[in-house]
Amino acid sequence: MSFDYDKYIRPGKLPHIWCPGCGHGIVMKGLIRAIDTLGLQKNNTAIVSGIGCASRLPGYMDFCTLHTAHGRAAAFATGVKMAKPEMNVILVGGDGDGTAIGGNHFIHACRRNIDMTYIIMNNNIYGMTGGQFSPCTPTGAKASTTVYGNPDPAFDVAKLAIGAGATFVARGTAYHATQIDKLIAEAIQHKGFSVVEILDDCPTTYGRRNKFKSVIEMMNRLKDIAVPVKAAEKMTAEQLEGKILTGVLYKEERPNYTDEYAKVIERAKK
Amino acid sequence: MAKKVAFLQGNEAAAQGALYAGCTFFGGYPITPSTEVAEVMSVELPKIGGKFIQMEDEIGAMASVIGASLTGAKVLTATSGPGLSLKQELIGYACIAETPCVIVNVMRGGPSTGMPTGPSQSDVMCAKWGTHGDHPAICLTPASVQELFEETVRAFNLAEKYRTPVMVMPDEIVAHMRERIVFPEPGELEVINRTAPSVAPAEYKPYDTSFGDVPPLAAFGSDYRFHVTGLNKGQDGFPTTKAAWVQAEEERQVRKVEANVDDIVQFEEYELADAEVAIVAYGSTSRSARFAVNEARKQGIKAGLFRIKTFWPFPEKQIAALAGKVKAFITPEMNLGMCTGEVKRCAEGKAAVHGIFRVDGEPINPGQILEKIKEVK
C-alpha cells in the first residue's frame, strides 16, 4: 500500500509554489514520513519557518504553522517552545534565511540546545528573489549578483551548527530521498537542538547560471559528491577531495534549555 | 486590610503591572534605561511558573514574545530607542498577524545611540510610524510610577482586547524615578483576557470577521490548528493577493483601533474650564506643566493643562474642541516638536501653537513653561 501523504497536507493548499525540479518537495515528503513514523500529534506540533521558497513549506502542512519574517524562525520558535515545552517544534527554511539574516538566531538556538529540530534546505542560492548569492554559494559560482564569479567563501552549515553547540547534526541530500525521513526522525527524537542540512537544488536560479544542463545533472552531482560518514572512514584525504559527508555527523547528550529552565522555576519557587 | 504600599522605581512598577495583568512570558535584550523591567521579570516570572528569556538581540526578543503569545500567553518585552528601531520589523509582524503583545519602551535621547542615560520623548512618532505599511498603533505615555503600573495593566488589556501590539512609553525620568505606589488589590483593576474561539476546531478561522473587527484568537497547542503569516492574508490566515481581501483586511486592522478611540484614548484635563492658554503635555514634562499652571493661576493668568495619557490614537477630538476655546496652546516636549505637529494638525489654525523643545538631556522645568505662558497669554 502506498504511503498516504494527504493525511498531513492541508486540503486545498496544493499545488505548491516550487518550480519543477526543485528538491523542496522531496524534503517535505521526508518530513511527513518522519512525522508519521514518530506518530507526532498535529495539534501538538508547530512547524515554523522564515522567508523564502523553502519557508513556504509550513503553509501546506496540517499542523500549527507559523510563517515568520526573514531569518526569524528560530527566535519565534524559541518563544513557542519556551511557553509550551510539551509541543514538538520543527523549523524549516533555506540557506540564505537561516545562515545570513537568521545567522544570529541560528547559532544561539544551537548554543541554548533548546529541544527543536531545524531542517535547512541548502540550495546554495536566494531562489525566491531571483538567484542572488547566499552564504552557502560556492566560491567562484555564478549568481545574479556574482556574474563574474562569487568572491565569497561559503559556510559549512553542519560545522557552523556543531561549533555553535547543536547536539545533533546530520546531512542528507535531495537525491538520497529515502534517507531524509530517517535523519529527520532521528533528529526530532534527539533531546536538544538538532540540525538537519539537506543539500538541495535550485535548477531555476542556480542550475542554469552554473552550466547544469538539466535537473538530472544537478541530482547526479548530489549523488556523486555525497559520501556516507561510515564509508568516509575508509577513504583517503585524496579520495575525499570535493566530497561532502552525509549521515549523522555529530551527536552528544547535553542538558536542553527548557529542562534547565524548569530547574530555574524549581529554584525560584523555593 | 491596609493596601500594600511601596517606594518603587518606574521600571519596577511597569514589571509589577505586567504581573498584575497576568503576564507569563518575557523575552528581552539588555538596554539602558529599561533593563530593570527585565531584571524584575527574571526574578518574578519563574516564581509563578512563567518564563523569562534573554534573547540574542532585540529582534529575537520581539520574535520570542510573538511566538509565546501564539501559544496563549500574555507577553511583555522592554526596550529603549535603538532597540525600538530594531523591533519595528516584528512590531509590524504582530500588527498584521494580530498577535497581542506589550512593549515597554523607555524613551532616551536619539537618534541612534544618542544619550543612553538622558531623558527624552523623541520616540513617540516611532511608535506610530516606525514600522512600514499601514497598521494600527496604541501608545500610552504615563507620568508617574503609580500610573506606569496602572497603564501597563491597561496596555495588556488593550493588546488582548484588540489583538494588537501596545506600547507603554515612559520617558527616562518616569522610568527611573522612585515614588510611593499603592498596589491595587487583585480584582481592583480590570484585567481583560483574549476572546477564545467559540466555533468547533474544523470551522475555526483566525481572522473570521463574522465575529467582528477583532476575531477570536486560538492558541497553538490547543485543539485548534491554524496558520500564521506576515503576508497579507485572507480570513483563513493563508496568504492572498486577492485585491478585495487585501484591501478589506488592511482596513479592518486599522479600523479596529481607530473606530474605538473612545474606549482607548485617555487624558486628564486640569484647570481647563476657563483657560485661555492650554498646555498640552505628557510624561514627566506634564508634571512641570502642572506646576507652571498653578504658578500662572496664582499670578491671575488663566492657564490650564491637557495631559495626554494615550498618545496614540492621538486625542484629536479633544484637542480640536479645545482649539475653539483657547487663545493659544503651549506644547513642551523633550524632542523637536513631535506632539506639537499633532496639536497643530488638530487645531487647524484656530489657536496658535507654541512649542518648547529640549533635546539636551535636561528636563523641561516649570519656570521655562511659566515664562512661555506669560509670553503668549
Interface contact A87, partner B, CB < 8 A: yes
Does residue A117 fall inside a structural domain? Answer: yes
Rg (CA), chain A: 18
pLDDT average, residue stretch B211-222: 98
Cell output for B329: 496652546
Instruction: Give A48's contacts in chain B (Cβ within 8 Å).
Output: 67
Helix, strand, coil fractions of chain A, as percent rounded to 5 = 45, 20, 35
Which part of chain B is CATH 3.40.50.970? 5-182
pLDDT average, residue stretch A218-232: 97
Q: What are phi and psi of B363, to 5 degrees?
A: -70, 160
CB A120 within 8 A of CB A128: no
Neighbours of A240 (CB within 10 A): 13
Residue A109, domain CATH: 3.40.50.970
| Max CA pair span of chain A | 66
Do A79 and B25 lie within an 8 Å CB cutoff?
Answer: yes
Of B65, B89, B227, nearest to A59 by CB-CB distance is B227
Do B229 and A268 lie within an 8 Å CB cutoff?
Answer: no
Strand partners, B355: B331
Does residue A68 fall inside a structural domain? Answer: yes
Interface contact B217, partner A, CB < 8 A: no
Interface contact A264, partner B, CB < 8 A: yes
Compute the distance between CA of residue B124 and CA of residue B104 in angstroms, rounded to an integer: 12
Does residue A2 fall inside a structural domain? Answer: no
Instruction: Give B229's contacts in chain A (Cβ within 8 Å).
Output: 59, 67
Which ipTM did the prediction report? 0.97
Compute the distance between CA of residue B125 and CA of residue B4 in angstroms, rounded to an integer: 36
* CB < 8 Å from A in window 238-257 of B: 238-239
Residues B268-376, CATH architecture: 3-Layer(aba) Sandwich (3.40)
Confidence of residue A1 (pLDDT cuts 50, 70, 90): low
Strand partners, B307: B268, B281
Give residue-wise pLDDT tens across range B321-368: 999 999 999 999 999 999 999 999 999 999 999 999 999 999 999 999
- What does the mean pLDDT of chain B come to? 97
Do B68 and A59 lie within an 8 Å CB cutoff?
Answer: no
My answer on whether omega of the bond before B111 falls inside 30° of 0, hence cis, is yes
Q: Would the pTM count as exceeding 0.95?
A: yes
Residue B2 has pLDDT above 90, yes or no: no
CA B174 → CA A7, B202, B363, distances in Å? Answer: 56, 48, 11
The alpha carbon of residue B65 is apart from the nearest alpha carbon of chain A, in Å, by: 6
CA A223 → CA A66, A199, A245, B14, distances in Å? Answer: 33, 10, 11, 58
**Total domain count for chain A?**
1
Does residue A23 fall inside a structural domain? Answer: yes
For A56, the domain range is 10-269
Neighbours of B344 (CB within 10 A): 19
Helices (H), A84-176: 95-96, 103-112, 157-164
pLDDT average, residue stretch A92-104: 98
Q: Indicate which of B40, B65, B70 best probes the interface with A, i.e. most A CBs within 10 Å of its own CB.
A: B70
Does residue A175 fall inside a structural domain? Answer: yes
What region, left, alpha or beta, does residue A182 occupy, with left being phi > 0 and alpha being psi -120 to 50 degrees?
alpha
Query: Above pLDDT 90, what percent of chain A?
Result: 99
Q: Residue B1's pLDDT is what?
A: 64
Residue A94 has pLDDT above 70, yes or no: yes
Cell output for B21: 495583568
Q: What are the DSSP E strand ranges found in A50-199?
A: 64-67, 88-94, 117-122, 125-126, 132-133, 168-173, 194-199
Rg (CA), chain B: 21
Give residue-wise pLDDT tens across range B243-262: 999 999 999 999 999 999 99
Of B27, B67, B72, nearest to A77 by CB-CB distance is B67
Does residue A201 fall inside a structural domain? Answer: yes
Q: Indicate which of B56, B74, B98, B205 best probes the interface with A, i.e. most A CBs within 10 Å of its own CB.
A: B56
Compute the distance between CA of residue B141 and CA of residue B174 in angstroms, rounded to an integer: 10
pLDDT average, residue stretch A146-170: 98
Interface contact B231, partner A, CB < 8 A: yes
Q: What are phi and psi of A34, to 5 degrees?
A: -65, -45
What is the CATH code of the structural domain delimited by B5-182? 3.40.50.970
What region, left, alpha or beta, does residue B348 occupy, with left being phi > 0 and alpha being psi -120 to 50 degrees?
left
Q: Residue B6's pLDDT is what?
A: 97
Do B229 and A79 lie within an 8 Å CB cutoff?
Answer: no
- What does the mean pLDDT of chain A come to? 98
Over chain B, what HEC string results? CCCCEEEEEHHHHHHHHHHHHCCCEEEECCCCCCHHHHHHHHHHHHHHCCEEEECCCHHHHHHHHHHHHCCCCCEEEEEEHHHHHHHHHHHHHHHHHCCCEEEEEEEECCCCCCCCCCECCCCHHHHHHCCCCCCCCCEECCCCHHHHHHHHHHHHHHHHHHCCEEEECCEHHHHHCEEEEECCCCCCCCCCCCCCCCCCHHHCCCCCHHHCCCCCCCCCCCCCCCEEECCCECCCCCECCCHHHHHHHHHHHHHHHHCCHHHHCCEEEECCCCCCEEEEECCHHHHHHHHHHHHHHHCCCCEEEEEECEEECCCHHHHHHHHCCCCEEEEEECCCCHHHHHHHHHHCCCCEEEEEECCCCCCCCHHHHHHHHHHHC
Instruction: Give A58's contacts in chain B (Cβ within 8 Å).
Output: 227
- What is the chain A residue with the closest CA to B224? A43
A194-199 and A125-126 strand pairing: unpaired
Do B228 and A86 lie within an 8 Å CB cutoff?
Answer: no
